[in-house]
Amino acid sequence: MQLKLPFDSKKPVAGEASVHINRALSQVFRYIGENFFENYPKWAVEVLQFTPLDGQQVFVGAKAKQVRHDNGATVESVFEITEYQPCERLALQGVEEPYKQSYVFMNGDGDKATQLTFRFELLELEVFMRPFEKLIRTAIEDGAETTAENIKTLLNG
C-alpha cells in the first residue's frame, strides 16, 4: 500500500511583486538585464559574494556563483540565465538548487515609465518543510517586495 501525503514536494512556492519605475523601459532593462552581472549585488543586498563565471555579458547559458546570507544561514549557489529577451524578460535558475527568478518589463504610463514584475520561485520544497509552506511563502513574498523596491529606489535615485 502506497502512502499518500497531503502535499506535493514538487509544487513550487512563489512570491511576486510589481513596481512602477519612473524611467523608460530601455533604461530599466539596460540596468537590470544588460548590466545584470554588474548591478545584481546592488539590489540583492543579501549577496555577500558574487562572481560571474562567463564574463560580464548576459546571454542564455551564462552562469554566476553567489554566496548569500539567508535567514541566518550562508548559502552558496550557481545559477544560469535561462531567458534573455531584451526589454521584455530576464530569467535565471539555480543549477543545482531548485529556484528560479524572473524579471518582466512592460511599458508603464507612456514611454517614460516602466512596470517591473519580479518573481521568485522555490521550485521544490523538501517534504519535511511542507508544514511550513505558508511561512516560507510569506518570506518569499516579502523578499520579492524588497527586491522590487530596492531596484525602484536604485533607478529612481
pTM: 0.88
27-54 pLDDT, tens digit per residue, is 999 999 999 999 999 999 999 999 999 9
In angstroms, the CA 101 to CA 115 distance is 17
| % of residues, the chain, pLDDT over 70 | 92
In angstroms, the CA 86 to CA 37 distance is 15
Dmax (CA) of the chain: 61
Q: What is the CA radius of gyration of the chain?
A: 17
Q: 13-156 belongs to which CATH class? A: alpha beta
Per DSSP, which regions of 22-61 are E strands? Answer: 47-52
96-110 pLDDT, tens digit per residue, is 999 999 999 998 777
Residue 7 — very low, low, confident or very high, per pLDDT cuts 50/70/90?
A: low
